[in-house]
Structure 1
Amino acid sequence: MRSFIFIGTIAMLATAAHAQTLVDPNKVAPEYREAAEKRRAEQLRQRECALKADLEKVLPRDRTAFLNRCLETMAAKQ
């Protein structure tokens, strides 16, 4: 019985630990829409850099540096 409760607790925590979903500016109050659009653009840039890191098979220890460089180069292009 104790192991069943433990497994149930782990399962509940695992479902709550999903990645953050993209912000939908249309579902936000009008006064916060501009901030939501900026947040969504930033999330898309972060996802694109994460995908590049996955495709290039960057090691976990080097991933943060890779993502920071990627985001900096994307910001410089704009």
Structure 2
Amino acid sequence: MFWLICITAAVLLTPSPSRAQKLVDPDKVAPEYREAAEKRRAEQIEQRQCAMKAEVRNVLPRDRTAFLLECLQGKPETK
């Protein structure tokens, strides 16, 4: 019984794989949508860069959304 509890706790505490969105590849969309795909890819890259800044600065989960919004709006970051 003890082993069952330990195994269950280990499974629940292991981090799940990230469900991050893949980068848009403008070359794989129809020509009429290529410009929009390029813009979306630029947005995704900017979002990833801001997320990396948050990780480097060890931003708390409760403050992460505000940090990301400020970063994406181009405001100077605090901390």
Q: Which amino acid aligns with 1:28?
A: V
Report Cα offsets for 1:9-33 as digits up to 9, x if no partner.
xxxxx67x62110000000000000
SS of 1:51's equivalent in the other structure is helix
Superposed counterparts of 1:1-78, under 5 Å = 18-73=19-74
The structure with more radius of gyration = 2
Q: How many residues align?
A: 60
TM-score normalised to structure 1 length = 0.71
Deviation track 1:9-67 (CA, whole Å, cap 9, x = no partner) reads xxxxx67x621100000000000000000000000000000000000000000000000
CA RMSD of aligned residues (A): 1.6
TM-score by length of 2: 0.71
Percent identity of paired positions between Structure 1 and Structure 2: 68
> How many Å separate the matches in 2 of 1:68 and 1:55?
16
Give the structure with the larger helix fraction: 1
Runs of 4+ in 1 over 4 A off after TM superposition: none
Distance 2:34 2:70 in 1: 29
Unpaired segments ≥5 residues, structure 1: 1-13
Structure 2 unpaired stretches of 5+: 1-15
